[in-house]
Amino acid sequence: MNDDQTAADLILKLMGREIVIDVSSSYVYAGTLVEQDHRYLVLESADVHDLRDTATTRELYVVDTRRHGIRANRQRVLVRRAEIVSLSALEDVLI
């Protein structure tokens, strides 16, 4: 199995689960992964959080989201795969 297949398999296992996505910009996304294609991941009941709007760090924001749940501000959002730095299941965030 090559690296692309491994990543694709892991993303499929996250389908229907709450995830957190770090992107190369100042945004962090959290929501339920419901769809994907070659360009986008689709989240529902999502929080699109701009770190420029707060004094908190990316890690503190993610830990807070794990502790208190996702505070959705979007019904549905598309996240460009090309921007993704990392993603994980919300339940995998260590607190």
Please name the residue that has the structure tokens 């962090």: 28
> One-letter amino acid identity for 94?
L
Residues 39-84 have pLDDT tens digits of 999 999 999 999 999 899 999 999 999 999 999 999 999 999 999 9
Enumerate helices (H) and strands (E) in the chain, giving the number of each: 2, 5
pTM of the model: 0.92
Segments in 1-95 forming alpha helices (H)? 3-13, 58-68
89 or 95: whose pLDDT is higher?
89
For the chain, the domains span 3-92
Q: What are the φ/ψ torsions at residue 2 (nearest 5 degrees)? A: -90, 175
Q: Domain 3-92 has what CATH class?
A: mainly beta
Closest of 31, 34, 6, 4 to residue 20, by C-alpha: 31
